[in-house]
Chains A and B, each alone.
Chain A
């Protein structure tokens, strides 16, 4: 059975999409069959594969909104040409933000039902879901469909405090729907060790997050919760996204052309591999 990972945080700009991409690429490199689901109406994951979200609006086999009517949804093959890799994407579009507002019975459980009905956990080894920067029906759907929650977070005061809100909402969702998760992984992202605030708040998050969950979130604390190593803020992330690639793919293919020295590149690659290993292990 596949691991189903939702990458969520109600804050924006914490590199949710980039995280989805490198988890996917690392898993594909290991020969795993991966399905990406873009569950964000802003469709940044979809755009990252050079797909125009407008193509999927309206009455369309590949419209993700079909999930809410339990109709068929097409996936797009986004693996490299001429490779044996299995990397499929269910693209998103603007309409996803509207359909979730509708009055549909059991609308919080639609994604879970869709995955179950189509036995996607049997077809794929890993399913990764990207979220919008909110905590709404869409987020609840992805949490209730997953067994692993990955939370990228930026190490500043605001973000650290915002994390509490996210924990509370997640706790409420899990307890209301009596849903168990296996793991919750907090990934400090876009970390700059030269910035004092980052250094201080990395430490606070490392201690406080677990503390907070232990004391205030009984359902979450039944699962394995940990803070991973911090992912540094590197120009390579921006470079990769301008090439419509994951940072992992970019460093592997275009590494020598990037501004990073070989040693640093390899360090970053193995750091990402380690983080992913800890998520999926």
Chain B
């Protein structure tokens, strides 16, 4: 008791701007966030979806920075699962220090963290980071919704498609079923990534992207808007060329759009067969044309008639 009083005194002094906070040895060990060196080989990957793709150059430059400062300024975040540590935050840092040959890494070890909490920490960290690609972000948010709604990933996808169809009025909404869910989902997506359910629905296109486009999106070579435009191109070779040009900054989305426009024009045949009807009559032939003709077509026709 006496000891507690003394600590309370020290800490109350601290509030007056005098002295520093004092904790006991036990409190130190019981701290919810314990920072400790852990062995990298004890770190396991999270069960849920996180970033799966990364650029080697990015990791190398991070490794260089860490090498220069000789320490990790920010520890990674893990939670204890059995005798292993499940990574929550710090994918790039782990890769970088592994490159430097470190065996240990400083980590914040969170105690008593539920799956949902762990995922929320992971996602809010990742989603707020600019460089996480739209695909990983979308999958992450959907997995979190799945966890919160107790649904499988496919069920979440289905529900989102359902919302999309309601939005586009192709099906009638079922107020009892979906409105409350939608509201709850809205609060989750706002909390996680500051995006609306509507924009999440809009992002469902990531699941219909061609493999090469999806890869480029994950690697950060193309933006999400560019990816959806590219997906409209049929020719894979052409797509590859565009990805290369987009990544090197030699072309923009505008160029893809004008390419698509051009292609559309070409696919509508310029020289339509002229629909006409020739009828034999006593005084010659009658010609009836049921299409508006362009100037050049008219000229051709005149030439033809003259020949006759």
Contact = CB atoms under 8 A, between A and B. Distances in A.
Interface in B106-160: 106, 108
Chain B CB within 10 Å, residue with most, of A77, A81, A86, A122: A77
Contact of B3 (A51, A73, A79, A120): A79
Chain B binding surface, main DSSP class: mixed
B48 interface: no
A95 B73 CA distance: 10
B74 A120 contact: no
Interface in B1-44: 1-3, 6-7, 10, 13, 17-25, 28, 34-37
Interface stretch (A59-67, A159-167, A184-192, A211-219): A59-67
Given A58-B75, A77-B3, A72 B21 contact: yes
Contacts of A51: 25, 28
A123 interface: yes
Contact of A78 (B18, B21, B25, B72): B25
Given A78-B25, A95-B71, A98-B71, A88 B10 contact: yes
B47 interface: no
Contacts of A60: 35
Interface string B68-99: 00111111000000000000000000000000
A1 to B, nearest CB: 13
A75 interface: yes
A77 B35 contact: no
Contacts of B13: 123
A98 B73 CA distance: 12
B3 A83 contact: yes
A84 B19 contact: no
Contacts of A86: 6, 10
A52 to B, nearest CB: 8
Given A55-B35, A57-B35, A118 B19 contact: yes
Given A76-B28, A84-B3, A58 B22 contact: no
Contacts, number: 87
Given A55-B35, A59-B35, A118 B3 contact: no
A158 interface: no
Contacts of B7: 77
Contacts of A58: 35, 72, 74-75, 106, 108
Contacts of A62: 23, 28
Contacts of B10: 86, 88, 123
Given A58-B72, A59-B108, A83-B3, A74 B22 contact: yes
A119 interface: yes
Range of interface residues on B (Cβ < 8 Å): 20 to 34
A81 B7 CA distance: 12
Contact of A57 (B18, B24, B37): B37
Interface string A84-112: 11101010000100100000000000000
Contact of B106 (A57, A76, A81, A82): A57
A78 B74 CA distance: 28
A119 B13 CA distance: 10
Contact of A75 (B1, B6, B22): B22
Given A59-B75, A118-B20, 12 more contacts: A51-B25, A55-B35, A57-B35, A57-B106, A59-B35, A75-B22, A77-B6, A82-B2, A98-B70, A122-B18, A123-B18, A123-B19
- 6 residue pairs, one from A and one from B, having the closest CB atoms: A58-B106, A123-B19, A58-B75, A119-B18, A60-B35, A84-B2
Interface of B: 1-3, 6-7, 10, 13, 17-25, 28, 34-37, 70-75, 106, 108
